[in-house]
Amino acid sequence: MKRTRGFSLVELVIVIVIIGVIAAIAVPRISRGAAGAGASALRGDLHVLRNALDMYSAEHGSTYPAILTFEAQLTQFTSDAGATSVTKDATYKYGPYLVAVPVLKVGDGKGSKT
């Protein structure tokens, strides 16, 4: 009689248990890594915003962008008084300080600018 070669049931069960243990260890670490990357990206975006606000304040007599025109004042050219224009000229000589306001990448407001 010919003997067939293959894995026994015990060997297969042991391999499946080992794969399960490895997965139980790896999955939480991977999910924490993704959350850490999002937090790191958020810190980077906040740093960029702080720098843009500091530059705006330095060029506009220690004043900051208005709440209603915040995005326009940071992404367009501005005058001494903070008025905005999409083109640069002698009146609108400051900025832009950002190409675009960063979008949230983590948290409840993910995908928004607020």
Task: Quick: pLDDT tens for 42-55.
Answer: 899 999 999 999 99
User: Residue 66 has which token pair?
Assistant: 């208005």
pLDDT value at residue 2: 65
Work out the end-to-end distance of the chain between its first and last CA atoms, rounded to an integer number of angstroms: 75
Say if pTM beats, i.e. exceeds, 0.85. no
On the CB side of 94, CA atoms within 13 Å amount to 20
Containing 85, the helix (H) or strand (E) segment is strand 84-85
